[in-house]
Amino acid sequence: MRHTLAFALLLPAVAGAQAPARAGADRASADRASADRIRRDVAVLADDRMEGRFTGTPGNDSAAAYVARRFASLRLTQVVDDDAAACARRRTATRAGREQSCTTYLQRFTARSASLAHAGRPSELATQNVVATIPGTDPALRGQVVVLGAHYDHLGRDATFSTDPKAGNAIRNGADDNASGTAAVMELARLFAARPAKRTIMVVAFSGEELGLLGSQWFVDHLPVPVDSVAAMLNFDMVGRLTDDKLLVYGTATATELPAILDSANAAGPALSVKGIGDGFGPSDHSSFFVKNVPVLHFFTDQHTDYHAATDDPATLNYPGTARVVDLAHGVARRIADRAARLTFQRGTTTQRMAGAQSSQGPRPWLGSVPDMSSDGAKGLRLQGVTPDSPADKAGLKAGDLVVQMDDTPVTDLYTYTDALYARKPGDVLKVTVLRGTERLTVNVTLGQRGQ
């Protein structure tokens, strides 16, 4: 019963924003993603009335309610057991004592944030994942599940993890991060509801990702199905900024069959310029599944300077491009869900190193750089941008610089870069060596602190 007023105020507007499409139009687009539907969903989730969807807030709850209503409109199956008290209330309210289901779309849990606790702020936040399934059609395969997931939370008005701390308590709507991924999952749910696969499809919107993958970690530890029944997980985090048809897909080495499946789906076209990256671990919700030995893919249209900033708004997204990402992901997911044999899981080698970097304790240092996640084959980490007035900007770092060393630590990729950065603390002076064209430069950066 949390935040009842926020639900009451927001849901009428949500219902109006999502009017049912004509049946004929639905049939005509049953196998193609709709840019207009994605645009409408993003507009609702990234509206100022959601106040940035920070975990545990009324806006976060209202976003979950919106996703649940979309799942209900598609008549998706509820699989999460509701708590006894909520079930009893529904049964009491049902006319003539009619039997009422004790399942729900909302997987309620308490997100416990170590970073908020360290900052002396309330760290136990009541929130929920949103979960539904489309049962498989093959009696021999429907007991296996392909999970399609995205986090729907964002930063709200909190500057702690932002890239624009000087914006103070401005609403950070998170249109790309990650209303785009949530809208992609809802559109995939529509496509699979129209034509189910042989295996069961489970669609999940996670809360608590920005606080440390809390929702997906809770989900994998409290799965409504046995963990060994999960055949694969496809994650969508920041899929709204497709540029020059370039798409990054992480996790291609987590199962031997995945590169060929991705190539086959892309060849069905119109083809995107897909860069497959083998590692199944990274700072998004697919990692929670990979550590449970589940093959994963993470779809991502790359970083940009609006990341974690108040400027990440719906008008900045490429909706036809997002629809193309969804169409490719639909082809990949359907091939996985319909194939006779399960994928052959493979484990990479970087999981523990990256996990350690992401879970560092204490205030996090702030450099203000925007890494280019795609890489260009060079040894190092190229910067896609630099936040104005950040420590990196004040030290003279620029977009296009290739970071090759931090103090005495060589930087060869995103992981060594992250390890080197998070081994420091705010206030430390970090010697950063970059290649700028043919010139090798070293600058001293005084690291800031998130939120300052």
Task: Give 10-residue mean pLDDT values along the chain (452 residues).
Answer: 36 39 47 97 98 98 98 97 74 57 93 84 95 98 98 94 92 98 98 98 97 95 96 98 97 96 95 94 92 96 94 98 98 98 83 39 76 70 83 93 94 85 92 94 90 54
Give the model's pLDDT for residue 386.
82
The pLDDT of residue 328 is: 98
User: CATH number for the 4-338 domain, one of 3.30.1490.20, 3.30.70.660, 1.20.810.10, 3.40.630.10?
Assistant: 3.40.630.10
* DSSP structure class, residue 228: G
Kindly give, in sequence order, each residue whose CB lies less than 8 Å from that of residue 343, ignoring residues fewer than 6 positions away. Answer: 231, 232, 255, 256, 257, 258, 295, 336
CATH 1.20.140.10 fits 363-449, yes or no: no
pLDDT of the residue at 377 = 63
88-129 pLDDT tens trace: 776 666 554 455 668 999 999 999 988 788 778 899 999 999
User: Of 434, 414, 396, which Cα lies nearest the Cα of 300?
Assistant: 414
CB within 8 Å of 230: residues ≥ 6 apart: 144, 145, 146, 147, 223, 289, 292, 294
Q: How far apart are CA 337 and CA 391, in angstroms?
A: 47
For residues 111 and 109, what is the distance between their CA atoms, to the nearest angstrom? 6
- The domain locations on the chain are 4-338, 363-449
Structure confidence at residue 369 (pLDDT)? 84
Retrieve residue 177's tokens: 């991060």
Helix axes 258-267, 319-338, angle to 10 degrees: 130
Report helix, strand or coil for 226: coil
Q: What's the rounded Cα separation, in Å, for the pair 402 and 371?
A: 10
Q: CA torsion 196→197→199→204, rounded to 10°?
A: -60
Distance CA 205, CA 442 (A): 43
* pLDDT value of residue 310: 97
What does the pLDDT read at residue 364?
A: 75
What is the reported pTM? 0.81
